[in-house]
A and B are shown apart, each in its own frame.
Chain A
Amino acid sequence: AQRVTQPEKLLSVFKGAPVELKCNYSYSGSPELFWYVQYSRQRLQLLLRHISRESIKGFTADLNKGETSFHLKKPFAQEEDSAMYYCALSYTGRRALTFGSGTRLQVQP
């Protein structure tokens, strides 16, 4: 069965510091990976998807099939980046997303 692991419950950094939110997955086929963000008491919003290889709000994520990872990175954190970040996986034949447990990012001034 597929599984998504986010090893850090909380990541606290200072403004301007680099950020890396870790995500590892287990799935034997070709998955589709996503990052979702949830600001305080708001709905989840799609941040990134690996197939589009885009940069949103300065965040990037690269799918590493060898390491089965999809880490989220930003070179310089901003206070408004403080939120809950979820990594998620789906695959052909299963539309539903499997989410990791989430990492809370706190960016301190």
Chain B
Amino acid sequence: DAGVIQSPRHEVTEMGQEVTLRCKPISGHDYLFWYRQTMMRGLELLIYFNNNVPIDDSGMPEDRFSAKMPNASFSTLKIQPSEPRDSAVYFCASSRTGASGYTFGSGTRLTVV
């Protein structure tokens, strides 16, 4: 298995532009998580899904952020419009029921200028 796959690895965009981050979880995993990592705030949970259904989106900063999981093998995190304060590393992780701990992807480093 290739693990959790995120794309792109790096994204540089201008303020106001739409940004879409992508994640492919490990096959057979029924949980998917999106985290944001910054120097100031560390790792923050944004949203997580179980069987493609959002369970907790209380960590999503504001209406500019949205996440979808149209099927078991794909999820997107969209920011529209993007702002400089959104600059961070965004991690996706997946796990399966009955197993403890997650497998993380390599992250997407987002820079909004």
Contacts and interface: CB of A to CB of B under 8 A. Distances in A.
A42 interface: yes
Interface string B43-59: 10100101000011000
A101 interface: yes
The B interface is mostly helix, strand or loop, or mixed, namely: strand
A90 to B, nearest CB: 8
Q: Which bracket fits the contact residues of A?
A: 20 to 34
B90 interface: no
B75 interface: no
Interface string A39-53: 000111110010100
Q: Which bracket fits the contact residues of B?
A: 20 to 34
Contact of B101 (A42, A49, A101): A49
A45 B91 CA distance: 12
B43 A46 contact: no
B42 A43 contact: no
B95 interface: yes
Interface in B66-110: 91, 93, 95, 100-107
B104 to A, nearest CB: 4
Contacts of B31: 95
Contacts of B101: 34, 46, 49
A98 B42 contact: no
In the complex, which of the residues B33, B35, B101 has the most CB atoms of chain A within 10 Å of its own CB atom? B101
Contacts of A42: 106
Interface of B: 31, 33, 35, 42-43, 45, 48, 50, 55-56, 91, 93, 95, 100-107
